[in-house]
């Protein structure tokens, strides 16, 4: 199996800033733990602060025989019709994840533009949200 984890804007700062909201673990720690836990799954990673680059990466994944994408679109979650359209256009499941529980935060974080286009949503479990997203793809695949 092959799964792509994608992070949007500012998530390159994980582990360096705002540990009270996003924890102190880095994305490298998270990826290492996931690859150890699921050695038979190829887990690729991509981060960009740029909306169009996230869309380009999603589209490129259509030629990579990927089983699914775990996407933390960061603040683009709440604004991006373009990402919504891109997610709708791909031929694999996209799981929306968030580190924090966005529903416990400011009102503007309560609405997601991308949720209707995603297979499901996971939020509020810290970096474990990524693990749960990966496992959602693995288990969905096993059911088919």
Q: Is 76 a catalytic residue?
A: no
Closer residue to ligand CA2 (CB): 1 or 31: 31
What character string, x for contact with ligand CA2 (CB under 6 A) and - otherwise, covers 58-97?
--------------x-xx-x--------------------
Residue 112, judged by CB atoms within 10 A of its CB (0-12, 13-18, 19+), counts as buried
CB-based contact 75:36 (threshold 8 Å): no
Among the listed residues 18, 28, 53, 64, the single contact to ligand CA2 using CB under 6 A: 18
The DSSP secondary structure of 26-50, one letter per residue, reads: -HHHHHHHHHHH-TTSEEEEEE-S-
Burial letters for 114-123: b for 16+ Cβ neighbours within 10 Å, e otherwise? beebbbebbb
Residue 75 CB, nearest approach to ligand CA2 (Å):
4
Rounded Cα gap, residues 73 and 75, in angstroms:
6
Closer residue to ligand CA2 (CB): 102 or 134: 102
Choices 12-20, 24-32, 33-41, 49-57; region in contact with ligand CA2 by CB under 6 A: 12-20
Tokens 């693990």 belong to which residue? Answer: 131
Closer residue to ligand CA2 (CB): 100 or 128: 100
Q: Is 98 a catalytic residue?
A: yes
Rounded Cα gap, residues 144 and 134, in angstroms:
16
Residues that bind ligand CA2 (CB under 6 A): 10-11, 13-14, 17-18, 22, 72, 74-75, 77, 98-100, 102, 109
Residues forming the active site: 22, 98
């Amino acid at each position: 199996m092959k799964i792509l984890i994608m992070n949007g804007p500012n998530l390159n700062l994980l582990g360096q800033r705002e540990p009270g909201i996003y924890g102190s673990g880095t994305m490298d720690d998270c990826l290492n733990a996931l690859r150890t836990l699921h050695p038979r799954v190829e887990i690729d990673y991509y981060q960009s602060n740029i909306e169009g680059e996230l869309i380009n990466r999603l589209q490129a994944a259509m030629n990579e025989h990927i089983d699914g994408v775990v996407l933390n679109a960061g603040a683009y979650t709440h604004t991006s019709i373009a990402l919504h359209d891109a997610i709708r256009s791909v031929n694999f499941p996209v799981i929306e994840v968030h580190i924090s529980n966005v529903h416990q935060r400011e009102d503007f974080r309560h609405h997601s533009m991308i949720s209707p286009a995603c297979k499901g949503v996971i939020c509020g479990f810290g970096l474990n949200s990524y693990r749960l997203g990966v496992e959602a793809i693995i288990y969905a695949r096993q059911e088919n």
